[in-house]
Amino acid sequence: MNNLGKNIAIWLVIGLVLMTVFNQFSRKQEASGQVAYSQFMADVEADRIASAEIEGNPIRGQIIKGKRNDGTAFSTLAPFDFRMVDTLIKHNVKFAAKAEEEPSFLMNLFINWFPMLLLIGVWVFFMRQMQGGGKGGAFSFGKSKARLLDEATNVITFADVAGCDEAKADVSEIVDYLRDPSKYQSLGGRMPRGILLVGPPGTGKTLLAKAIAGEAKVPFFSISGSDFVEMFVGVGAARVRDMFENAKKNAPCIIFIDEIDAVGRQRGAGMGGGNDEREQTLNQMLVEMDGFEGNSGIMVIAATNRPDVLDPALLRPGRFDRQVMVSLPDIRGREQILGVHMRKVPISNDVDAQVIARGTPGFSGADLANLVNEAVLFAARRVKRLVDMDDFESAKDKIMMGAERRTMVMSEEEKQNTAYHESGHAVVAKLLPKSDPVHKVTIIPRGRALGVTMQLPEADRYAYDRGYLMDRIAILFGGRIAEELFMNQMTTGASNDFERATSLARDMVTRYGMTDALGPMVYGENEGEVFLGRSVTTHKNMSEATMQQVDAEIRRIIDEQYGLARRLLEDNRDKVEAMTAALLEWETIDAEQIEDIMQGRTPKPPKALPVKPNSPNGDRPSGEAPATPVITTPATES
């Protein structure tokens, strides 16, 4: 509305200026058609004037308009001449006098003062723009960019937040304090100065902060950490001051700073000097949160997924009194989040949110929202009125594995090698006791992978024992060993398997203390980042002999698990052959078919067997492929 008013005012000024120019132009045109007064009097005396009309005041001048005997019109400006009337009567000229209309006082005032008022108004307008009265003014850099959400505009409550019950419980008493502070103040308590929401991306930290403001029904100032810093020195600190001044006027209120690590990193970090713009902004924020002046009624809520890089002075009690962990949701939390997002979607009766939640371990709230949206897109693409379970399965496969590469051409030999590779992973995974159940195996290329072996955990895992990690290493080697045993060749498709297996073995030796030879001790070098306030130099804390022993332990673990996987595949050749044949025929097999193969039974055909096109270019129909953890065969790895 402000921009609209400014535009209307500017166009009105332009219109008035154009009208003034046109009036002046028309007056000049009119003046160019006049005759001299002397010529007029000569024509009267020569009896060439038929009629005349006199307008105006004799003292200030009169305008005479009339016609000659030949019918032509004329006009002239007459000075004060008391003989003109007698002359007109003497020569029989018909004339009439028209009284001059006196302009009103307001009209005179407007005519005389309008140009001056216009110039003053234009000058004031541009001065306000330069001083920050308008958006983006030359002096408006120090103004806070925080957006205010009041009770009417913020309609988000705790009912819109799911999957983080512990975090909601931690902040619920903050809401109670904002609603009724006297209950706590009577006992000598004070409101926490700040709450730091910590958690992985997409877990709902920003949504939880909005819900706190919505439940407490207080003003909510929202700003990002990157909005404080500009190209000019001192702008960040000025914006912090302005933000807290605005918050004091609306207290009690909440200030929410998203991604606070943009300005809250440790001071003195990096190779440059310590007096940079970001540190000035941080210093001002420290003073405003807990300095000489009190900020009663203002609560600062910040969110970050990098609490390890924040300055210690920012994290002390009195500034951020609480750190609330907003972690990835468990299976029950994922089911609740799916319920929130499914309320806005027409869902079929066969959709089971609990099954979807079990098949999406490690998904955040944002991932689950994207899953529901992708399922809706699949249903719309298939011209359905309701979103069913098949759409959710397709959406889950696309998110976890990538889109199917339908046009990718593979030779029969490469396709057979991929089938043996994935069968090797699956058979080893089914035979080892501590591995996750195999959910699906496919040789349809997805994303960067030529094939996928999908393992689905029965429950969310928060810690991994030594046996589980050893089995994971053996499963990773199953693909290469199957290529050697059944195809008598080695391909580059196992390179990512080797990287992951070596990384797991190295972590078991150097970080987890899972070897008897080296014991429970961390072996490694200083890997601190200099730009996170860590040491510039790296320090080796291992001798050459210890490094050789670490390498020997890593080699021992890899060789043991490689040999274990090889023995399992050699003893179960028939199962690998049967699984490979099923993959070559159907391209995707599920857990039920895999179990039939491992029990020596003939696998049942898929419920909806895809019809393979008989095209010579090797195009294949779409198949299924699910969740995590996954073992893939990269398309191009060396």
Binding site residue list for ATP = 199-206
Strand arrangement of the beta sheet that strand 322-325 belongs to: 147-149, 220-224, 253-258, 298-304, 194-198, 322-325
Burial of 71 (0-12, 13-18, 19+ CB in 10 A): exposed
416 with 580: CB under 8 angstroms? yes
Q: What is the dihedral of CA 31, 37, 39, 40, to 10 degrees?
A: 100
Output the 3-class SS for 601-627: CCCCCCCCCCCCCCCCCCCCCCCCCCC
Angle between helices 235-249 and 277-289 (to 10 degrees): 20
Backbone φ and ψ for 8, nearest 5 degrees, come out as -65, -45
Residue 480's alpha-carbon distances to 417, 556, 595, 614, in angstroms, are 10, 18, 22, 31
User: Which parts are annotated binding residues?
Assistant: 199-206, 421, 425, 497
Give burial (CB, 10 Å; 0-12/13-18/19+) of 261: buried
Residue with tokens 């959710």: 392
Query: How many whole angstroms separate alpha carbon 349 and alpha carbon 137?
Result: 57
Q: Which of 288, 422, 553, 624 is labelled catalytic?
A: 422
Kind and range of the H or E element at 95? strand 94-98
Give catalytic status of residue 422 as yes or no: yes
Alpha-carbon span 612 to 620, nearest angstrom: 6
Cα dihedral sign, 174-175-178-182:
negative
- Non-local CB neighbours of 71 within 8 Å, separated by 6+ positions: none
Query: Which residue ranges are tagged as binding site for Zn(2+)?
Result: 421, 425, 497
Task: Report the catalytic residues.
Answer: 422
